């Protein structure tokens, strides 16, 4: 569950937090495109490491490190599944190229996890909703998306609390083979699903009591306005994306 720490918004006054959410959405799209563009170790390693200064500048290194610790399990799974599938296709022989490609796939996941964590850690759901609305996306869809983002850390916290409660009752989640461990998570998933349904019903009742959707004309407390630093950041991202396209044509 520690990987979901990357979805908890932090309220800080840093250059990254103060960037316009539309610029950060462009950053998210640019890094995602660059990560998908390359399938070699060195470029993907550069993309991953290039984001570390941004994490430090945003002062979210602690939350990011927790997210990465949880994500490393999935990175190892991606590495293992890629290596096994390629080895099976080649008659159960492993060479350096298979290992290289498998490492590259794991690094791609790390790069994407870093950029998504940085985005959600530094972007409040309210401003994200405003950014989506400015892109002519209907408010109902914006509200549904941002509400889901808000619930992710809450559900992760509840899952951890339920797991701790089940451990106190003698449930051993860390023992047994993969199938046995999956079966042991049923006592956690059942109350978690019930809790999620109850929360959704409470939210629906609260929205109905406040006449959600009754008026087509909405007002917002905040307004988005691009500042000089936003243009500089967008230009830097566009330059990095163009350089990546040129490098992709060479390597």
Residue 38 and residue 17 share a domain: yes
Work out the percent of the chain whose per-residue pLDDT is above 90.
Answer: 47
Q: Are residues 150 and 234 in the same domain?
A: no
Judge if 118 and 129 occupy the same domain: no
Is residue 111 scored above 70 in pLDDT? Answer: yes
Output the pTM of the full model: 0.84
Residues 51 and 95 in one domain: yes
In this structure, are 119 and 129 located in the same domain?
A: no
Mean pLDDT of all residues belonging to the chain: 89
Integer Cα distance of 75 and 110 in angstroms:
7
The span from the CA of 56 to the CA of 139, in Å, is: 33
- For residue 161, the Cα-to-chain-centroid distance in whole angstroms is 22
Cβ atoms within 10 Å of 198's Cβ, excluding its own? 10
Task: Say whether pLDDT at 218 is over 80.
Answer: no
Is 54 found in the same domain as 35?
yes
Compute the chain's Rg from CA coordinates.
21
- Residues spanned by the domain of 148: 125-220
Alpha-carbon distances, residue 186 vs 54, 74, 135, 171 (angstroms) = 39, 21, 41, 11
Contact 98, 106 (CB under 8 A): no
Read off the pLDDT of each residue in 101-124 and give the average, rounded to a whole number.
Answer: 94
- Here the tokens at position 113 are 């996890």
Residues 176 and 69 in one domain: no
* CA-wise closest residue to 213 among 126, 143, 134: 143
Domain count, the chain: 2
Q: Is 101 found in the same domain as 23?
A: yes
Q: 95 and 139 share a domain?
A: no
Mean per-residue pLDDT, 111-125 = 93
119 plus 141 within the same structural domain: no
Question: Residues 144, 145, 149, 152: is their CA dihedral positive or negative?
Answer: positive
Q: At what angle do helices 41-50 and 228-250 cross, to 10 degrees?
A: 170
């Amino acid at each position: 569950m520690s990987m979901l720490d990357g979805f908890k918004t932090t309220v800080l006054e840093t250059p990254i937090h103060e960037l316009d959410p539309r610029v950060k959405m462009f950053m998210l799209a640019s890094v995602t495109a660059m990560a998908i563009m390359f399938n070699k170790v060195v470029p993907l390693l550069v993309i991953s490491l290039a984001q570390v200064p941004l994490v430090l500048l945003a002062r979210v290194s602690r939350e990011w490190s927790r997210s990465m610790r949880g994500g490393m399990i999935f990175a190892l799974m991606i590495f293992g599944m890629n290596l096994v599938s390629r080895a099976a296709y080649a008659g159960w022989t492993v060479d350096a190229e298979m290992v290289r490609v498998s490492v590259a796939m794991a690094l791609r996941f790390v790069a994407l996890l870093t950029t998504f964590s940085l985005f959600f850690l530094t972007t409040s759901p309210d401003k994200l909703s405003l950014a989506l609305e400015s892109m002519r996306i209907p408010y109902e869809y914006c509200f549904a998306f941002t509400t889901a983002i808000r619930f992710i850390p809450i559900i992760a916290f509840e899952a951890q609390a339920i797991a701790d409660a089940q451990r106190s009752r003698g449930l051993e989640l860390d023992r047994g083979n993969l199938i046995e461990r999956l079966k042991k998570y049923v006592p956690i998933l059942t109350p978690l699903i019930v809790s999620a349904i109850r929360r959704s019903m409470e939210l629906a009742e609260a929205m109905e009591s406040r006449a959600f959707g009754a008026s087509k004309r909405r007002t917002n407390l905040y307004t988005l306005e691009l500042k000089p630093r936003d243009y500089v950041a967008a230009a830097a991202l566009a330059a990095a994306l163009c350089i990546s396209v040129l490098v992709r044509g060479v390597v």
